Amino acid sequence: MKLEIVSANRLTDGRVVYLSHGGRWSEKIVDGRTARNDKESAALLTEAEASVAKCLVIDPYLLTISDETGAFTAMRLRERIRQFGPKVNQTLDQSV
């Protein structure tokens, strides 16, 4: 089933944040509010845009996650790197 959350970068320090409850933004993906269908996704994005107007975040967008392992994990590699940070001391064979 489709599972999406909204992420953005925080204006003041550029850090990765996820749209959480009550229009707040959290650095932890677990705090992210999820959308399960297009309507919910659109609503999340609209809410995120309000934070852009308030100069809280930059360029919010939707990303697909999975919760199969019990924790939220982004599907795309780029998003996993944003989620976990650069694994600069890890070799290629260990995937993020």
Q: Which residue has the tokens 């509010």?
A: 33
Nearer to another protein, 13 or 39 (CB): 13
Taking the complex as a whole, the smallest distance from the CB of residue 3 to another protein amounts, in Å, to 17
Which residues here bind another protein, judged by CB under 8 A?
9, 11-16, 52-55, 58-59, 75-78, 81-82, 85-93
Count Cβ atoms below 10 Å from residue 6 Cβ, excluding itself: 25
Q: Residue 48 in contact with residue 6, Cβ under 8 Å?
A: yes
Taking the complex as a whole, the smallest distance from the CB of residue 39 to another protein amounts, in Å, to 26
**Pairwise CA distance, residues 67 & 48, whole Å:** 22
Nearer to another protein, 24 or 87 (CB): 87
Taking the complex as a whole, the smallest distance from the CB of residue 78 to another protein amounts, in Å, to 6
Q: Strand 57-66 to strand 73-74: parallel, antiparallel, or no bridges (unpaired)?
A: antiparallel
